[in-house]
Structure 1
Amino acid sequence: MAEKVVFHIDEDRSETLLMALGNIENFLAALSAETPAVVVVANGNAVKLLRSHDAESYQRRIATLVQAGVRFLVCHNALKKLGIRPEELLTECAVIPAGIVEVVRLQGMGYAYVKP
């Protein structure tokens, strides 16, 4: 059975997102013989980091991770609260209704929880 992990980011700090990206890259490299399930859930102020005009410096890394099967999920509730339209996000991101609900759901499905 492949490893499953959810990375949860909720702070508007690029250092946190960069740490998560590095953790994911290392995780995938260490398990190269397997196909792990990796999900990043962004809620709260972290959704600001995934706006296309704010994510230029790490957009390529995110695109590469998506090609490797990593999913980037962004909380609709946080977008609404912060006045960010889904169209403003990187195209690699999918909007979900509630980030915290998704984190709990994934943990219930056996995903390990990581908060960089």
Structure 2
Amino acid sequence: MEYKVIFHIDENARWQMLLGNVENLLAASESGHMTVEVLANGEAVQKYASSILGNGNESDQSLTAKMASLHREGVTFAACRNAMRASHLTEEDLQSFVVTVPAGVMELVTRQSQGYAYIRP
């Protein structure tokens, strides 16, 4: 069976929980194909850029390392351009594994219309 899931995050304080949920989901889905996307909008897009901007602490570096590891397992990390603009971020500020989408809310609508399950920890 094939599963498609989009995780939505808009608060920096929820990153650790969200990434743990993604890891748990991947571990539990041994018998099926899993397509996973993590969409960040609001302040949460800042975590995609923290180490590049030089203000990343040890916790931020740990989150970035976990994201990179999950990306190697096939997880897509997407950033809302509207939220990036509000946080004064450009695509060059983002980690190399992050893709951008024009509007986070439209990405959620699109993915849900494609059959993705929506999870917001």
Q: Fold-level match, TM-score > 0.5?
A: yes
- Corresponding residue for residue 24 of structure 2: 26
Instruction: Provide the secondary structure at the position in 1 that maps to 2:62.
Output: coil
Per-residue CA deviations over 1:19-56 (Å, capped at 9, x if unaligned) read 11100101000012222010000011110111141341
Q: Distance in 1 between matches of 2:67 and 2:82?
A: 22
Runs of 4 or more above 4 Å deviation: none
Number of aligned residue pairs: give it: 114
The answer to whether the Cα contact below 8 Å between 2:15 and 2:63 also exists between their aligned partners in 1 is: no
Matched, 1:73 2:71: no
Q: What's the TM-score, normalizing by structure 1?
A: 0.91
- Corresponding residue for residue 97 of structure 2: 92
Query: Structure 1: any 5+ residue segments left out of the alignment?
Result: none
- Corresponding residue for residue 12 of structure 1: 12
Query: Structure 2: any 5+ residue segments left out of the alignment?
Result: none
Q: Indicate the RMSD between aligned Cα atoms, in angstroms.
A: 1.2
Q: What's the TM-score, normalizing by structure 2?
A: 0.88
- Give the counterpart letter for 2:74 in structure 1: G
Instruction: Provide the secondary structure at the position in 2 that maps to 1:40.
Output: strand
Task: Tell me the percent identity.
Answer: 41
